[in-house]
Amino acid sequence: MKLEVMPKQRVLEAEQREEAMEMSGLELWKHEKPPKICPMPSLIPPEAAYDEAALVPPLNFAMVDDGIFRSGFPETSNFRFLKSLNLRSIVAARYLCPEPYPETNTEFLEENGIRLHQFGIEGRKEPFVEIPDDKIREALKVVLDPRNQPLLIHCKRGKHRTGCVVGCLRKLQKWCLSSVFDEYHRFAAAKARITDQRFMELFDVSTLKHLTPSNC
């Protein structure tokens, strides 16, 4: 039995049809619309995300005790966070320095009924320069008065002057000296000062014992 040989013309026509079909399919694919990808819905409402982002605590912010907080100097970006604390008072330990309190911060305090207590404690880097004992005592009297709480203690960085006030408060709360120094070092870190630690070690709390802190 002889096999029928397809004439060359018919072979050429078959190849042309196959090529036309391939090109037709390619053109269709090119003009197809890509699948629509829907973005995942946000699990946090935009308002909640904004509020969370807006609550920015000041540098070195921490809770000291019920109704008592500490930090570095509050910037305008921190005002919304401070407002959420419902503060009654601010004990300014930079202002525990003798400089005038910034106008923007003063306006914020007035608008929110927050009282400012300043004690004029200057930062001391030099050795053998005394930290004013009487100013620390006056600051502690304000801190321990429940009528002034909730309150915030702050200086420029929340390290040295604030650390001394809080360290003396801890002695009044009967913390051991090693724990007082550990807390001081957590905030002061490499900037810890021997003069501050010496002051806290020698600070006499006996005249303040009638001002009973919450956990004494």
Active-site residues, by number, are 155
Q: How far is 179 from 160, CA to CA, in rounded Å?
A: 16
| DSSP per-residue letters across 49-86 | HHHHHH--PPTT-EEEETTEEEESPPPGGGHHHHHHTT
Q: Kind and range of the H or E element at 12? A: helix 8-31
Q: How far is 180 from 170, CA to CA, in rounded Å?
A: 6
Q: How far is 170 from 216, CA to CA, in rounded Å?
A: 9
